[in-house]
Structure 1
Amino acid sequence: MGDDQVLCRKCGETKPRKAFYDQLHSALPRRPCKACISTYKRDRYAVTDGDRVSHAQVLREKYDLTSARYETMLAEQQGRCAICGQLETARGRGGAPRRLAVDHDKRSGAVRRLLCHRCNLVTSAVEENPALLDKVRAYLQEHA
């Protein structure tokens, strides 16, 4: 097995290095391979409701949140975004309004509130780079 070949611990195949993701904070290959990770994720989020992924399953797997807790949060917010106070306007593939996104701290995983798609994108960008908000404000003022 050469330097550019890596053994996948899941499927047992030897594959080129580019078939593997890097480990977090390292240049070492993450094993299993990309294909095995993709298969695992597809199976984990198996289609359970016609052509849709189960919302309850995603809430549980991604946020450790029950459907009942999500519905309680939604009722407490009167179905509106916790930041802009508007109903969700983004549409899903079928044309129906999307559900409000679960906002969470990316480091701790702690769930905060429910946000519309637009506010969730802005919040994520600003959380990663707080100075971005000032840059956007300056840009808008410059081009007002």
Structure 2
Amino acid sequence: MVKMCLRCYQERPLDSFRKGDRELVSCAPCREYARGNSYKNRRAQPSKVRADNLWALYRIRPEEYDALREAQAYRCAICGIHESEITVGSRGRPRLDGTPNAEPFRLVVDHYHASKRVRGLLCGPCNAGLGGFRDDPALLTAAARYLLN
């Protein structure tokens, strides 16, 4: 018997959702991850902030992001630009402790909004373009036809 975790959307064995006499909505790996990811720990370690953001928004770990980058040869999945050629704008607010901000990631995660399933990594302009067309293939096709006229 399996049950879907409401945090990671993965099917896990039922015993992963039990704690004593209670039945929980999140699986054991998600609960373990949340315990080690408190606000205090996040503020002290920028890598924890990155890991938390990737997990909260896309349900992937930093290792999965890095593997996807490598699989795409560090290039945008649509236009093929290498991440080293992408110019990045703002690096966000200055850190409270005065240390420099981390280098921003140049390839962003693209995902299906309904299922949160990751499609790949894109440069900012390609990601914004898909968002502008609301991920609708019919609109993208119409735009391509328009450009070809």
Q: TM-score, structure 1 length as denominator? A: 0.54
Compared CA separation, residues 49 and 79, structure 1 to 2 (3 A): farther
The letter for the 2-side match of 1:107 is A
Tell me if the contact between 1:102 and 1:114 (Cα under 8 Å) persists in the aligned partners.
yes
Q: CA deviation at 1:105?
A: 0.6
Which of 107, 121, 124 in structure 2 is aligned with 1:114?
Answer: 121
Q: CA deviation at 1:138?
A: 4.7
Tell me if the contact between 1:74 and 1:80 (Cα under 8 Å) persists in the aligned partners.
yes
How far apart are the structure 1 equivalents of 2:69 and 2:43? 23
Q: Aligned residue for 1:126?
A: 133
Residue correspondences, number: 99
Which protein shows a greater Rg?
1
Q: CA deviation at 1:137?
A: 3.3
- Root mean square deviation of aligned Cα: 3.3
How far apart are the structure 2 equivalents of 1:68 and 1:50? 17
After TM superposition, the runs of 4+ consecutive aligned structure 1 residues lying more than 6 A away are 49-53
Residue deviations 1:31-90, cap 9 Å, x none? xxxxxxxxxxxx97x973689992221101111110011011111111111111112414
In structure 2, the residue corresponding to 1:102 is in which secondary structure? strand
Q: Aligned residue for 2:6?
A: none
Farther-moved stretch of structure 1 (88-97 vs 77-86): 88-97
Whose relative contact order is higher, 1 or 2, with alpha carbons under 8 Å and at least 6 apart? Answer: 2
Tell me if the contact between 1:92 and 1:98 (Cα under 8 Å) persists in the aligned partners.
no
What are structure 1's unaligned runs of at least 5 residues?
Answer: 1-42
Compared CA separation, residues 56 and 99, structure 1 to 2 (3 A): farther
Q: CA deviation at 1:99?
A: 2.4
Q: Aligned residue for 2:88?
A: 91
Q: Aligned residue for 1:101?
A: 108
The letter for the 2-side match of 1:126 is F
Which of 65, 70, 87 in structure 2 is aligned with 1:70?
Answer: 65
Percent sequence identity over matched residues?
34
